[in-house]
Amino acid sequence: MAQLPPTRPRALGVVLRALPGTLGMVLVILIVGIASQSLWRPFESQPAWDAVAYGLPAFTEGRYWTAVIGAFFVSHPLVYLATVPSFAGMAYLEWKRGTRVALSYFWIGHLFAVFASALFLLLANLGPWTWPWARALADALDVGPSGGTIACIAAAVGLLTSMWRVRGWLILLSYLIVSVLFWGALADLEHLFGAVLIIVVDRSLRIHRASLREQRLIGFVGIIALGAIHVLTSVLPTSGPFGDTEPLDGTLWGTALDIALIVLMAAGLHRGRRWSWVLSLLLAAVNVLAAGLILLLLLLTDAATTAEALGANPAPDLASGVLWLLALCYFIATRRAFRVRRRTTIGSGAPVTSDEVRALLREHGGGTLSWMATWEGMDYVRAGGGVVAYQRRAGVALALADPIGPDRARAVTEFIGAAERSGAIPCFFSADEKTRALVPSGWKSLVVADDTIVDLPGLTFTGKAWGAVRTALNRAGREEMTFRLTRWGDEPWGIQQQLRAISESWVGDKSLPEMGFTLGSLDEAADGEVRLALAVSSRGDVDGFLSWLPVFGAGEIIGWTLDLMRRRDGGFGPVMEFLIGSSAAAFRDEGARVMSLSGAPLAHDYPADAGMIAQLSDKLAEALEPVYGFRSLHRFKEKFHPRYETLYLLYRDEADLARIGAALTRAYLPEATVRQFAGAGWELVRGRDD
């Protein structure tokens, strides 16, 4: 009997058993909120505030127990909107590591955050000089569990995969540091100390172990974030360690200059450009030096004199100077990630020629798409004693299919390294299962097509399943349609012109131009090693044609891959069934082992539980069907009862997908204009309306 899906009560029971610590804490806080009326009345204005709130004043009076009791109270009804969701980190931690660990992180993190903040403020007020911010916070009290929840969030970030762990840490720390520098409440200070404890204890933040690409991404995001912080703190009031500010209170010309330079160098940082790194280093150093000079002036004079000398409030520049100091340290520590100098090719060594690629294919063999590596527009990286064919588009190195040569594993590793060193995003498009198994752990894969392969030995067109193909062959015989397997150069000028006319007519029916990359044209079909299958009528007219790319094994051709499929309007109806069936019979008789009908993009048959990626692919295929008919093509190929081999897009992580999508668009449609894209969009809409 099929197992029924769990009911809601059963699912709720699973959650209750898995998260008793988190749910218990939230429940107690809500109960305390009802009992103290803080769910609807600000608790900080109630008499009980001084009795349960923690902070340096409470501790100097001996009320150390407030650090525990105060964790269950919330200062204002609106704060509950942030307090309850903040337990998500504790819930994740409890789910992964258990209740005891989660409660330990919460309480140790909370107590450390509270007492460390109090100790910091105590020491900050011992000197002979006055720090107004520290003096104000030394008299402040606070309640709430946020020190513990931040500690749990930090610990939960440490459980993520290495790549997302670094990103999560940087997002969290950026928020905490900016909060302290520009808003600087007692709770902000406690949050920072709670996270710092986890950094020291867990040691899960290891930027130096991140890949070159990840270090560049961090630099790019960091510099953009600095620009955004400059803008926000210029138009919003702030209150932090360096004083209070009003909107448009800082040095506006300095902010404008910083923003202009950030815009100039951000993209270069993402690609690891040396010039952009140098400019970032100089900008950070200038900002740090400026902040240092302002701080020195403050120490020698006073705030009023310094503000008068600058003609602006010095507080924003001092706070920004701290952020620029962190950025400066980061760029120095990751300097090896920013060594890319502009060039169009990847890797080193003598340039690879198309003839060399052909020789490697003949010697070592390749997959059903490997012959496409010889097409014009491809670049090559020497890797693993062979080559990887790729196109560089939109900052992405799109490797076509699988490496060619004797050592595929080493070729995959060397291509990825060469691409990243050059500042490009590496990915493999239409790669097979073997290549998928060789990419680094942590890489992602996305199904892009199914290679449809017909095994030729023993192939016969008998039985009910082959009825459509037999019907086409028999009808062709009755109508005196002849089949010819030939090459472009062997055909007379008149036949060549007919093929051009058929192809031009097919392309002219599309809103977008003829596609490229893994889809050839007549230029590729004219190659001397590519074969053409022609359907010629009794009048001598070509009613349709196919082009077949060679598939090499070790030293010999073992099969053929379908590329072009073109038919004359108003010609022989089942011409494609006739051409493919006749080609299969001819290749079988020649001793070929396989015939690939290629893969139709976005036409993979996903299982029912394949998830969101499958749903997105299906929706995109449905939208593109009126323009390119990928699904119709996939259904047509099923008439030949092929077996399927999955082809993948292999990429590092989801952050690369947007750039890869743009790169694939330009690779397939390098000559398409904005007007043509708009026309295709109208055809999509019209097709869906029909």
**Is residue 27 very low, low, confident or very high in pLDDT (cuts 50, 70, 90)?**
very high
Per-residue pLDDT for 48 more than 80?
Answer: yes
* Alpha carbon distance 224, 267 (integer Å): 10
Lowest-pLDDT range of 238-242, 249-253, 679-683 = 679-683
Pick the CATH number of 452-654 from 3.40.50.2000, 3.40.50.2020, 3.90.870.40, 3.40.630.30: 3.40.630.30
Model pLDDT for residues 317-336, shown as the tens digit of each residue: 788 888 889 889 888 888 87
Confidence of residue 248 (pLDDT cuts 50, 70, 90): low
Distance CA 403, CA 384 (A): 9
Between 580 and 166, name the one with better pLDDT.
580
Mean pLDDT, residues 23-28 taken together: 93
Q: What is the spatial order of strands in the sheet that 594-599 belongs to? A: 379-383, 386-393, 396-400, 425-431, 643-651, 444-455, 594-599, 557-567, 542-552, 531-536, 482-486
Residue for token digits 């299962």? 433
12 pLDDT band, cuts 50/70/90, is low
pLDDT recorded at residue 688: 39
For the domain made up of 8-205, the CATH class stated in words is mainly alpha
pLDDT score of 259? 84
pLDDT for the residue 573 = 83
What whole-number distance in Å separates Cα of residue 160 and Cα of residue 157?
5
Angle, helix 186-202 to helix 99-124, in steps of 10 degrees: 120
Tell me the mean pLDDT in the region 374-393: 87
Over residues 109-129, mean pLDDT: 90
Give me the pLDDT at residue 26, please: 93
pLDDT of residue 103: 94
Q: What confidence score (pLDDT) does residue 249 get?
A: 63
**Angle of helix 8-18 versus helix 20-36 axis, rounded to 10:** 90
Q: In the predicted model, what is the mean pLDDT of the chain? A: 81
pLDDT of residue 193: 94
pLDDT class of 632 with cuts at 50, 70, 90: low
pLDDT tens digits, 192-215:
999 999 999 888 777 655 666 677
Sequence-distant (≥ 6) Cβ neighbours of residue 265 within 8 angstroms:
223, 275, 276, 279, 280, 283
In the predicted structure, residue 671 carries a pLDDT above the cut 90: no
The reported pLDDT for the residue numbered 553 is 87
Res 127 pLDDT > 80: no
Mean pLDDT across 539-544? 88
Beta-strand pair 425-431/396-400? parallel
Q: Which residue has the higher pLDDT, 288 or 349?
A: 288
CB 522 within 8 A of CB 500: yes
Confidence of residue 676 (pLDDT cuts 50, 70, 90): very low
**Secondary structure of 579-637 as H, E, C letters:** HHHHHHHHHHHHCCCEEEEEECCCCCCCCCCCCHHHHHHHHHHHHHHHHHCHHHHHHHH
Tokens of residue 293, six digits: 């000079």
Q: Which helix (H) or strand (E) holds 544?
A: strand 542-552
Band (683; pLDDT cuts 50, 70, 90): very low
The H helix count followed by the E strand count for the chain is: 28, 13
Q: Is 440 exposed, middle or buried (0-12, 13-18, 19+ CB in 10 A)?
A: exposed
More confident residue, 212 or 579: 579
- pLDDT of residue 112 exceeding 90, the answer is yes
Q: What's the token pair of residue 504?
A: 């031009």
Q: Are 408 and 434 spatial neighbours (Cβ–Cβ below 8 Å)?
A: yes
* Residues ≥6 apart with Cβ < 8 Å to 67: 54, 59, 110, 111, 114, 115
Q: Is the pLDDT of residue 6 over 60?
A: no
Cα–Cα distance measured from residue 690 to residue 688, given in angstroms and rounded to the nearest whole number: 5
| pLDDT value for 233 | 77
What number is the average pLDDT over the span 618-644? 61
Contact 533, 544 (CB under 8 A): no
**Greatest mean pLDDT among 190-204, 562-576, 592-606, 611-625:** 190-204
Q: Which of 78-82, 97-101, 390-394, 635-639 has the lowest mean pLDDT?
A: 635-639
Q: Parse the chain into domains and list their residue ranges.
A: 8-205, 452-654
Alpha-carbon distance of 588 to 268, in angstroms, equals 54
Instruction: Compute how many other C-beta atoms are within 10 angstroms of the C-beta atom of residue 202.
Output: 14
Q: Which of 36-50, 613-627, 630-644 tops mean pLDDT?
A: 36-50
Summarize pLDDT for 154-188 with one digit per residue, the tens. 999 988 876 678 788 888 988 898 888 888 899 99
Most confident region among 199-208, 345-354, 448-457 by mean pLDDT: 448-457
